[in-house]
Amino acid sequence: MNVSSGENTSPVSHFILLGFPSSPEKQLLYFGLFSVAYTLTLMGNAAIACAVRWDRRLHTPMYILLGNFSLLEICYVSTTVPNMLANFLSTSKSISFVSCFAQFYFFFSFGCDEGLFLCIMAFDRYLAICRPLHYPRIMTRQLCTGLVIFGWSCGFIIFLSPVILISQLSYCGPNVINHFVCDPVPLMMLSCSKDTTTQSVYSTCNAIFMIGTFVFILCSYALVILTVVRMPSKASKRKAFSTCASHLAVVMLFFGSVMVMYVRPGSGHPVEMQKILTLIYSVVTPLCNPLIYSLRNKEMKVALRKIFRTERSVHKI
């Protein structure tokens, strides 16, 4: 077929997201499992965001960043799971061209923002533990607000170019994506035109962002651990390690699966492995984050108990 002429081909108007092909019974089972996971994710992250909003003792940079991170998780998981749930009950499993690229843009933009917030939170912990005397002067309300705005907006700017470039490729043949999300790699594989520039821009953006943020976080926590080891008080060590352990658990869960998926040379992962890795950082991580942060944090547990007590008293009235 002569792709360059484009005369005998019709442009693709929609894609088919295969998701997890199986029997109708299993599709219903998957629907139930992911519905429960999605509901728990929304409830857990919303509870943390509300606790930070309503408890004045949590109006500190660390918890303000955590509250925004929880809101970000709600946005992040909502870009893929509702459509995936709808596909479990659908026979066509189709998604329009525009909707597919909109999902691609918001999913990766929020994912990028999540990585940036993990960097900002690591920087906050570095200042609090390694520069405690200078912390109030450096981490002012203005700086914290600026970092929050930067964390929310940067991902939308970074991924604008790759999304535009990939959407401009010629799609004239197969439209079946063996995935549950509009992932850029299978999208580029479906394209009739092989544009090495687009692939290079996408790969470069991924590599620079993921490796850069991951190295920044590792360096921050390496300095934190060195400072904690030198602390004379065991109580101070325990408190510092407890705070950092929560952050590091989220970092490893998120970046571990993302790095294996998009950065490892060769990237010859089987299709099912790609789906599992995507599930880890797009569904499992947002589900686990509220548990990780609330169970290891006394102040957060107290604030959450207050919220649930208030809700119970309101229902009784």
**Would you state the pLDDT for residue 56?**
86
% of the chain beyond a pLDDT of 90: 43
Non-local CB neighbours of 102 within 8 Å, separated by 6+ positions: none
Residue 211 has pLDDT above 80, yes or no: yes
Is residue 225 a part of any domain in this protein?
Answer: yes
Q: For residue 40, give the CATH number of its domain.
A: 1.20.1070.10
CB 258 within 8 A of CB 207: no
Is residue 20 a part of any domain in this protein?
Answer: yes
Structural domain boundaries enclosing 278: 14-310
* pLDDT per position as a tens digit, 23-34: 999 999 999 999
Interhelix angle 160-167/97-130, rounded to 10 degrees, is 160
- The continuous run of DSSP H or E covering 301 comes out as helix 298-316
Dihedral sign (CA 17, 71, 308, 295): positive
pLDDT bracket for residue 64 (50, 70, 90):
very high
* pLDDT per position as a tens digit, 193-202: 777 788 888 8
pLDDT bracket for residue 1 (50, 70, 90):
very low
Is residue 317 a part of any domain in this protein?
Answer: no
Is residue 2 a part of any domain in this protein?
Answer: no
Non-local CB neighbours of 252 within 8 Å, separated by 6+ positions: none
- The number of domains in the chain is 1
For tokens 């002429």, name the residue.
Answer: 5
Is residue 3 a part of any domain in this protein?
Answer: no
Q: State how far the Cα of 70 lies from the Cα of 58, in Å rounded to an integer.
A: 14
pLDDT bracket for residue 269 (50, 70, 90):
low
Q: State how far the Cα of 72 lies from the Cα of 286, in Å rounded to an integer.
A: 9
Is 181 in a helix, a strand, or coil? coil
- The continuous run of DSSP H or E covering 116 comes out as helix 97-130
Residue 304 has pLDDT above 80, yes or no: no
* pLDDT per position as a tens digit, 245-257: 777 888 888 888 7
* pLDDT per position as a tens digit, 165-194: 899 888 887 899 999 999 888 888 888 877
Cα Rg for the chain, rounded, in angstroms? 22
Is residue 280 a part of any domain in this protein?
Answer: yes
**Would you state the pLDDT for residue 252?**
84
pLDDT bracket for residue 312 (50, 70, 90):
low
Comparing CA positions, the residue from 282, 275, 12 lying closest to residue 167 is: 12
CB 284 within 8 A of CB 33: no
**Would you state the pLDDT for residue 180?**
92
Is residue 1 a part of any domain in this protein?
Answer: no
**Would you state the pLDDT for residue 296?**
64
**Would you state the pLDDT for residue 3?**
39
Joined tokens for residue 298:
């006394």
Is residue 177 a part of any domain in this protein?
Answer: yes
